[in-house]
Structure 1
Amino acid sequence: MSKHVREGDATDGADRGPVADPPPLRLDGVTKQYEGGGGTVTALNDVDFTVERGEVTAVMGPSGSGKSTMLNMLGLLDDPTTGSVELLGEPVAGLSAAERTDVRRERVGFVFQDFHLIPTLSAVENVRLPTRFLDDDYTERAVDLLTRVGLGDRLQHTPDELSGGQKQRVAIARSLINEPDVLLADEPTGNLDRDTGEAVLAEINVIAAGGVGVVAVTHDDLVGEYADRTVELVDGVLRG
């Protein structure tokens, strides 16, 4: 599944026109169960969910509702007990661990509540980090992304020289370095005050407008205000 071949270029017969692009990610009847000391725990129960290009979806629900498990499924970090995870219309069950790593690097960007920046690296170096094993030099793209998120004057600053909102913007820029189809955000405003959170969410909306499908897993009602669609996950069941 090469990134060099973009979807929608082929046609399905001369008179039928272009084939519609499949969604970047889809959960089809996904159930995830874990065996614990108290018996079987169902973290996700028959979940159908589609990530659409250009759309911000907020997944909300209480702690223990299955949000993290759902994020792991979308990020190809775990396999369902039943059901399937589809990437660009194709099941990912047959991919090896190495292939999944490649797909995540090329197709999926991650933004975490705790930023996960390397404290000894500058903003530019942190943004370039996912490309460290690639042949091309991504410095120019890293600078461009940081400039786009308003950090053009903080390129050489290390994380301890940045505010919480600036750190989150570095994390967003890093998630976009490989031009992903999907951005998965885990509590993107969790460590931010309201004003900074609004600024970060506005930037996420700009990213989605460029054709990236965004899924934000959150407790924060503010995220829902900026989302195009909000769904609720309760006891592993998806509603909305």
Structure 2
Amino acid sequence: MKHLIATTALLGTLASAGFAQDLTPMSDEERALFRAEVRAYLFENPEVIMQAVEILQNREAETQAQADIDLVASNSEAIFNDGYSWVGGNPEGDIVLVEFLDYRCGYCKKAHSEVAELLETDGNIKLIVKELPILGDASVLASRFAIAVKQVAGGDSYKAVGDALMSFKGDVTLPALQRLGSTFGLDMEAIEARMNSDEVTAEITATRALAGILAISGTPTFVMHDELVRGYLPLEQMQAVVADKRG
């Protein structure tokens, strides 16, 4: 499809060039001859199509990147200062990294250790975690548990539970979460009572609404300072983005 679009664009360009030389509309015979010449040229120089596709893709990427920057700017308060998302790393860091995650997402699990290494080796990055359970009821259950832990037991317990959930390999069930909570000495009765509360629901609902505004359809998704990074990003690339943001 992109090849077709690029070819159409190329034909339009060539046609415009032809009309620029002579503003008189082509006759049917002239138009047929022109099309034949263009067809022959493209068959003789097929690399032109690939060059046009590359130009089109670059333009689309630039347009999307600018649109994402505008989205971040217009929703900065909800992204960076929602009042409930957990904050880690260096709270006074010069770069803010926001992660939308799902505990059952394979790429989130893969990114987890790399984000931790980025924070440890850099020391000047503020991390904000946003719960975005999108992979079914078990994901919602895990997020409700984690948020309830945060609300009942505080940020340190939330961090410990979040790390454990990211390395958890079994089925996410209430009995499994009860066992997990007990290993950290948590008040599971209070946490279970909070899991289905309006307070927990409000956090998930607000984050889902924000994800909708930002056109986030998968996890992990990052906001790195002022731009959206959609999908998993290896440590080296995250470091490169951070270096670029610092100028």
**Does the TM-score normalized on the shorter chain lie above 0.5?**
no
TM-score (norm 2): 0.27
Considering fraction of residues, name the structure with more helix: 2
TM-score (norm 1): 0.28
RCO greater where, 1 or 2, for CA within 8 Å and sep 6 or more?
1
Considering fraction of residues, name the structure with more strand: 1
